[in-house]
Structure 1
Amino acid sequence: MSAAAETAGRPAGGGTRAGTVRSLWRSAWTFGLVGLLLLLFLVTRAIKPTYGASELESLAIGALPIAFAAVAQAVVVISGGIDLTIGSVMALTNVTAAALMAGGSEEFAVLVVVFVLLLGLVVGALNGLLVVITRVPDIIVTLALSFVWAGAALLVLKSPGGSTAAWLKGLIDDTFLIVWIPEALVLLLAAVGVVWLPLRRSRLGLSMYAVGSDRLAAFRSGVAVGRTKIAAYAVTG
């Protein structure tokens, strides 16, 4: 009986090991990118020994807008679409915030941040709604809308101007606890976590993966394809 029990237990252990290997293999790309980043950092330090916190902070601040755009685009791509309005929507929300914060208090800036986040959500949902209703390919709809939102940004702020709150500047202009960790990098990782963790563990996130993988199969499985697409674009906004 003990031999039978031992034999019965082996497949489970083998299955666990196989699952671990598959999980590591799926994460190989991520580990490779992290390793490449560390290698580039070490090479840079070898070439320029004075490379330190200030340079790393400048790099993180410069990469922050592109990284935010990449995270937003990833959500739409996972759901099987593509969004060419991300740049113009970022411009629209930025100039709206700059215009509203001009002459305002630090406390009022908090309300402005909430407002522009909701603005991005509404604009993104509108993008998704038009994609679903018109049934025109995403790339065409979002290309046309990118000009609309870029024009709206020019209407909000016709020339360079506006201002921002001091506490917003402090979110990216300083280092976090340890002198080598820029706050811009911490902010980026926090934003990625806020988007990525619910996407991987929520029902909506799983629906996005299903729609992006096979829209017909997702529909037959009971997934609301249209609402999922709209939600993906709303999150992107």
Structure 2
Amino acid sequence: MSTATEVALPPSGEPGVKLRRFVSRQGWTLGVLAILIALLIVEANVAPNFTSFDVQSLVIAGMPLAFAAMAQAVVVISRGVDLSVGSVMALTNVIAARLMEGHGMGAALAISLLVLVIGMVIGTLTGVAVVTTGVPDIIVTLALGFVWAGVALIVLPTPGGGSPADYQTLSSGSSIWEWTPNGLLVLAGAYLLIWLPLRSRRLGLAIYAVGSDRDAAYLSGVRVDRTRILAYTVGGLFAALGGLALTSTTSIGSPLSGDFYTLTSVAAVVIGGVSLAGGTGGLVGPVLAAFILSAAVTVLTFLGADANYGQVIQGALIVAMVMIGGLLLRRRAA
């Protein structure tokens, strides 16, 4: 007779097990969400009169950065980096603003589709350049960033162009409920239509596999080079969405509009829980982090502090998140 004590483990399908598994997998994202909620509570207390307009203003300010963070996150998950995100956003912004000027909503939507294709082509060219040259991603994308920034200046040397009023309501209005800005719906739609289907399929899983271990992914039958190019293509698509968001939120095009978003998107990715080593993370965390960075500046403004301290906060958050992530990894390894 066995002397070992048998312990009955709960079936994996029980609600308690599912909840623990969900918290384990999404713990970082939940923590980022908690920080965002805390910031909104602080803003509600320091704002002279917190209304739905403040929420709409936050979405308008954070929407382009959220798309930039999504673009950067896809590439980082594949263990790459794209320092041309801001330039691609500026280029697609000026193309859209120049073509939309003087046209109605129907033409604006058709132009938006064209701009998205342009973003995907740019992303594909970037991926091909990275894969075929063998030069580190950071150098290739930095160089291409200068190229796209130059093209943006050729398309529109000075701020100008325009977009239809109805197109602007895609980011600034609230069609369903005043506390649910249209910009949030656009972000959710992009996530559900683009990333979620890709994430759950072979190509999306291949992006994670390549980011985790390229040699192991190759031995498992994953086409590594094609997958890396795919990551940049999807990143280009999200960057183009960011450019369109700039066109919608500002109603004009500016060749320098993307300068802020390249490094800030990296900050949002790190804060959002995507490992710079690749293979882990998602897109929800970086989007929440983008709104954290935007809300932090707003809170500082209400407190009467210099808004430039926002960069200090961004740096501090990055350092804190990287340290916490490193400690968690060491704890799991132990």
TM-score (norm 1): 0.90
Moved more, 27-36 or 149-158: 27-36
Please say if residues 96 and 116 of structure 1, whose CA atoms lie closer than 8 Å, have aligned partners that are also in contact.
Answer: yes
What CA deviation, in whole Å up to 9, does each residue of 1:67-100 have, x standing for no partner? 1100010000111100011100011111011111
Paired letter, 2:11 = G
Question: Secondary structure of 1:172's match?
Answer: helix
- Corresponding position of 1:228: 227
Contact 1:95–1:156 under 8 Å retained in 2: yes
Contact 1:176–1:186 (Cα < 8 Å) also in 2: no
CA RMSD of the aligned region, Å?
A: 2.0
Contact 1:92 1:150 (8 Å CA) reproduced: yes
**Other-structure match for 1:174:** 173
Q: Which amino acid aligns with 1:13?
A: P
What's the CA shift for 1:14? 5.9
Equivalent in the alignment of 1:4: none
Q: 1:13 aligns with which of 11, 14, 34?
A: 11
Which entry has the higher C-alpha Rg, 1 or 2? Answer: 1
**Equivalent-residue separation in structure 1 for 2:99 and 2:20 (angstroms):** 52
Give the Cα–Cα distance (whole angstroms) in 1 for the partners of residues 39 and 172 of structure 2: 23
- CA separation in 1, counterparts of 2:180 and 2:17? 37
What residue in structure 2 maps to residue 68 of structure 1? 67
Residue of structure 2 in register with 1:208 after alignment: 207
Aligned partners of 1:157 and 1:199: how far apart in 2?
A: 34
Q: Name 1:51's counterpart in structure 2.
A: 50
Worse overlay, 198-207 or 104-113: 104-113
Structure 1's 183 and 24: CA in aligned 2 closer, same or farther, altered over 3 A? same
Q: CA deviation at 1:165?
A: 2.1
Point out the more displaced range, 12-21 or 80-89: 12-21
> What percent of counterpart residues are identical?
49
User: What is the match of residue 155 of structure 2?
Assistant: 156
1:15 Cα deviation from its structure 2 partner: 8.0
In the alignment of these two chains, the number of paired residues is: 230
- Which residues of 2 match residues 13-162 of structure 1 at below 5 A? 13=11, 18=17, 20-48=19-47, 50-162=49-161
Worse-matched range after superposition: 96-105 or 202-211: 96-105
Amino acid corresponding to residue 180 of structure 1 in structure 2: W
Q: 1:125 to 1:50 in 2, by over 3 A?
A: same
- Structure 2 gap ranges (5+): 1-5, 237-334
Deviates more, 1:166-175 or 1:218-227: 166-175
Aligned to 1:3: none
Aligned-residue offset at 1:177: 1.7
Asked if structure 2 preserves the Cα contact closer than 8 Å seen for 1:92 and 1:152, the reply is yes
C-alpha separation between the residues in 2 aligned to 1:15 and 1:101? Answer: 52
Q: CA deviation at 1:59?
A: 1.1
The answer to whether the 8 Å contact 1:208/1:228 transfers is yes
**Structure 1 contact 125–230 (Cα < 8 Å) conserved:** yes
Deviations 1:140-191 (A, max 9, x none): 1000000000000001111111111222101112114221121122222222
User: Which deviates more, 11-20 or 126-135?
Assistant: 11-20
SS at match of 1:204: helix
CA drift at 1:19: 5.9
Deviates more, 1:38-47 or 1:145-154: 38-47
The structural deviation recorded for 1:205 is 0.4
How far did 1:18 drift?
5.0
TM-score by length of 2: 0.65
Q: Distance in 2 between matches of 1:18 and 1:229?
A: 35
Deviation readout 1:31-61 (Å, 9 max, x if unpaired): 1122222222222223336111111111110
Quote the Cα distance in structure 2 between the aligned partners of 1:31 and 1:154.
41
